[in-house]
Structure 1
Amino acid sequence: MEKYRILVTGACGVTSRSVVRSLNKSKYFKNKCLFIGTDVCYNEYGIYEGLYDKVYRVPKFSASNYRAIMQQIIDENNIEYAIIIPEPEVLYWSEHPFNVKFLQIPPIFAKSVLSKLNLYKQLEGTGLTPKYQTIDKVTLSDANNVKLSYPLWIRDYSEGTTSGMGSFMPKNYEQLKAWLTINDKIDTFMLSEYLPGRNLACFLLYHEGKLLKYGVAERIEYLMAKVAVSKITGNTSKGKLLNDENVFHVAKQAVEEVINQTGETMNGLIVVDLKEDNYNTPKVTEINIRHVAFTSSFANAGLNFSEYQMLILTGQKQLISNSLTNIFPENNIILRDVDGLPIYQSHYKQLQIGEYI
C-alpha cells in the first residue's frame, strides 16, 4: 500500500526522534509511514540512527533560501503531512504555512507564548505564573535593583531558548554577579521566584477549539545534571507519568487565558511546563508549542500523542477514544540514558541490596 509521506522538521533532535518512535509503535501507522527529516544537522547522530528514510540538511527557518529549499523537498518527496518541532520554526509555519497538512498552532497564540516574557505578560494578574522581573546587565550592577528575594532563578528568556539556557539559582547577590560574568554573551535576563516543588509537564492536544487529549508527567532527574550549574539540562533521566487533575486544570486555564486574549481558535499540540511553589501550587513557567521528549514515554504507556496527531491529519479522528487521558499505575517510572532508548516501567520497585532482576 502507499505509505503516508511525513515531513519531520528538527529531525536530528531528541524530541523529533521521539515523535517518529511513537508513530512506529502505533497500530494505525507502524510500517505505514515514509519519514522525511529536515534539520540544520548540529546533532549528526540523528542522521545515521536509521529512523528516517531521508534526512536533508537545511538552513535555519530565518535564512533567505529556507522556503525555497523546503518547498523543493516537499515537492520532490510528494509530502502530504508535516510535524514541525523547533519552536521558532513552528511559529514560521503558523504564519507562513506550506501546502501540506499539519496541526497549525494559532499564529498570534504562538507568538504570544514563544518567549517566557511574552507569556508572563499575557498571564499578568492571573496568579498562574511566578513573580518575576526582567533586567539588563547594567541595571544588575546595583544590588538594589533586584526586587525579588533570594534564592531566585535567573535565566535567558529569548524566544525558543531550551535546556535551561543561562539558568542558575543564586542564593545571594555575589553569586548572581558571578553568573553574569560567566554568561557574558547574554545581555538581558529574567529573574523569577524560586519554585522548590515538582517539575511538571502537561501535554494538551486541541483540534478546532476542542481539547481531545491531555497527559501529565513529572521530571525528577536530568541527564548529565552534574555538568550544569543549575542541575537542569532539559533532558530528563528519571520521570513519572501522573494522574493529577489539578496540574491539568492549571495548564488548561493558562492556555485558555492566552487564547481568549488572542481571539483565535485553539489548535495543535502544546506542552505546558509548570513548577510547584512552597505551597505545592503549580505555577506555569513555559508553554512549548511542540512535542517534548516525554512523547515516546507517553506512547509506551498507551497515550500516543503522535498517533492522535496523525489520525487528525489523515481524517481518521473518529478512531481517537473519547477519554481525555489514561490512568497510569501510581508506581510507574520513566528512565533515560545517554546511550539508550527511554524505558517505561508501569510497576517500579527500587532494587534493594542483594536483590536482582
Structure 2
Amino acid sequence: MKIIITGACAVSSRSVVRSLRKSATFKNSEFVGWDIANNLHGLYEGLFDRIYKVPAVDSPEYYEVVKSIIEQEKPDAIIPVPEVEVMYWSKKPFDIPCLTPQYEFCNLAISKKKLFALLEGTNLTPRSIEISKELVLDEKFKSPYGYPVWIRDSSAGTASGKGSFMANNTEEVQAWIKINTGVKNFQLSEYLPGGNYGCFCLFKNGVLKKVAIAERIEYIMSKVSVSGITGNTSKGRLLNDKKINEIALKTIEKVSEATNTTMNGLVVVDLKSDKDNNPKVTEINIRHVAFSSSFAEAGFNLSEFHLLCTLDRENELSDEIEMIYPDNNFILRDVDGLPIYVSDHKDLEVGEFFSKK
C-alpha cells in the first residue's frame, strides 16, 4: 500500500501520517509526501519515506510536476491536507482514490463571508459584518455590537488566528485596521468569551461515519500573539457534547443543501461559545487539523477511518460513530515535543510527585 499525503511538511499533514503509522491496518504502508518544502523541520523529521518538492498549487507547473510524481509512484490513494490542495483535488484532476467534499461545498465553506451570509438568521453563527478600512476609519464609525468585539481576517482559508484581535473600543478597532496593512478583508463579530471547539465530521456518500470533538484550552506561545491564538493548541481535551455535534452537523447540512452536493470526506467545524454557553460556528476547515493525531493517541484514529473510506473499505470501520472519552483527559503539546494524551489527569498537591513507573 502506498499513500500520498500533500502539504507533507505542515503540522496537520504530519499529524495525519503520524496517525496512520499508529494504525494496525496501515502502519506498514509506504508514505510519500510532497510540499513546497519551506518548513525544513517537516522535511527532516523523518515521518515520510520520501518527500518531493513541488510548486505551489496555483503555479502553472503544479499539474505537470505532480502528474510526474504520480506516474512514478503509482499511489493507491491520496489525502490532500492544505485547504488550497483540497480545493484543487475536489475537482478530481487525476484518477486516484481521494475523498474530499465536492468543489462547490469547499468553495462556499472556505469563505467566511459566504458561510456567514448563508447562515444569517439561523443563530448558528455570531452576529457579524464585513468591514473595510474606509468604513472603520470614518469618524462616524462605531461597533454595532458594543465592546469588546472580535475583529479578524475574513479571507478564505485563513488560519492560526491570522488578523484576529479582541478590541475594547473604536480606537483599538481603527488601530488594528491600520497595523494590518496586508489584510484586505476584515470581519467584525460579537465577542464570544466561552469554550473553543473543533468538531471533526467524516462522511461517505452523505452518511456520517465518524464524529469527534476537541476543545482548545490554551495555545503554544500564546503570549507572542495579540489575540492569544496561534493556531497550535498546547492544552486541550477530547470531549462529548450533543449540542456541539448537532450544530456542526446542521451547518454541514445547510452548506450541502445550498451547494446541491453530497457530503464526502472530513471537515472540522470550529465553534466558540457565547456568554450563555451557546456554541456558535466560526468557520469550517475542509481538512484535517493538528488534533487528528491526538484522537489516534486516544484510540479513535480519524486518519485511518478517512483512508478506509477513501479506499471504499468502510465495511472495515469500527461500529461506533463516536468514542466516549474520560472526563479528566488532556491533550498536551509543546514546541519541542510530540502531543501527549493523558486519559486521567489529576492536579498535584505541593510535595506530591508524578512518575511514569
The TM-score bracket by the shorter chain reads over 0.9
CA displacement 1:274-331 (0-9 Å, x = unmatched): 0001110000001100011110000111111111112122332111122110100000
- 2:164 maps to 1:172: no
- 2:80 maps to 1:84: yes
Once residues 93 and 184 of structure 2 are traced to their aligned partners in structure 1, the CA distance between those partners, rounded to angstroms, is: 33
Which residue pairs with 1:50 in the alignment?
Answer: 46
Instruction: Answer whether contact 1:212 1:322 (CA < 8 A) is retained.
Output: no
Q: Return closer, same or farther for 1:143/1:223 CA change in 2, 3 Å cut-off.
A: farther
Once residues 187 and 233 of structure 1 are traced to their aligned partners in structure 2, the CA distance between those partners, rounded to angstroms, is: 20
Query: Could you tell me which of 278, 281, 298 is aligned with 1:281?
Result: 278
Which residue pairs with 2:57 in the alignment?
Answer: 61
Once residues 281 and 315 of structure 1 are traced to their aligned partners in structure 2, the CA distance between those partners, rounded to angstroms, is: 37
Shift of 1:121: 1.3
Which residue pairs with 1:195 in the alignment?
Answer: 192
Instruction: Answer with 323-332 or 95-104: which moved more.
Output: 95-104
Shift of 1:18: 0.5
For 2:35, give the aligned amino acid: D
Once residues 217 and 3 of structure 2 are traced to their aligned partners in structure 1, the CA distance between those partners, rounded to angstroms, is: 33
For 2:10, give the aligned amino acid: G
Once residues 243 and 312 of structure 1 are traced to their aligned partners in structure 2, the CA distance between those partners, rounded to angstroms, is: 23
Once residues 309 and 49 of structure 1 are traced to their aligned partners in structure 2, the CA distance between those partners, rounded to angstroms, is: 24
SS at match of 1:351: coil
Shift of 1:143: 4.9
Alignment of 1:325-344 (within 5 A): 325-344=322-341
Alignment of 1:293-332 (within 5 A): 293-332=290-329
TM-score normalised according to structure 1 size: 0.97
TM-score normalised according to structure 2 size: 0.97
SS at match of 2:175: helix
Which residue pairs with 1:136 in the alignment?
Answer: 132
Once residues 124 and 330 of structure 2 are traced to their aligned partners in structure 1, the CA distance between those partners, rounded to angstroms, is: 28
Once residues 313 and 90 of structure 1 are traced to their aligned partners in structure 2, the CA distance between those partners, rounded to angstroms, is: 14
Query: Could you tell me which of 5, 11, 14 is aligned with 2:8?
Result: 11
SS at match of 1:240: strand
Instruction: Answer whether contact 1:108 1:262 (CA < 8 A) is retained.
Output: yes
Unaligned runs of 5+ in 2: none
Instruction: Answer whether contact 1:8 1:16 (CA < 8 A) is retained.
Output: yes
For 1:340, give the aligned amino acid: G
CA displacement 1:229-254 (0-9 Å, x = unmatched): 00000000000000111111110010
The alignment covers a number of residue pairs equal to 353
CA displacement 1:98-143 (0-9 Å, x = unmatched): 2211103111110001121111112122110000011111111125
Instruction: Answer whether contact 1:88 1:159 (CA < 8 A) is retained.
Output: no
Of all paired residues, the percent bearing the same amino acid is 50
SS at match of 1:28: coil
For 1:309, give the aligned amino acid: H
Q: Return closer, same or farther for 1:90/1:109 CA change in 2, 3 Å cut-off.
A: same
Instruction: Answer with 172-181 or 45-54: which moved more.
Output: 172-181
Instruction: Answer whether contact 1:154 1:191 (CA < 8 A) is retained.
Output: yes
Alignment of 1:167-316 (within 5 A): 167-316=164-313
Once residues 92 and 314 of structure 1 are traced to their aligned partners in structure 2, the CA distance between those partners, rounded to angstroms, is: 19
SS at match of 2:167: coil
SS at match of 1:144: coil
CA displacement 1:184-222 (0-9 Å, x = unmatched): 121321111110000001000000010000001100000
Which residue pairs with 1:156 in the alignment?
Answer: 153
CA RMSD between the two structures: 1.1
Unaligned runs of 5+ in 1: none
For 1:134, give the aligned amino acid: E
Once residues 263 and 91 of structure 1 are traced to their aligned partners in structure 2, the CA distance between those partners, rounded to angstroms, is: 17
Once residues 24 and 318 of structure 1 are traced to their aligned partners in structure 2, the CA distance between those partners, rounded to angstroms, is: 21
Alignment of 1:25-44 (within 5 A): 25-30=22-27, 32-44=28-40
Once residues 139 and 341 of structure 2 are traced to their aligned partners in structure 1, the CA distance between those partners, rounded to angstroms, is: 46
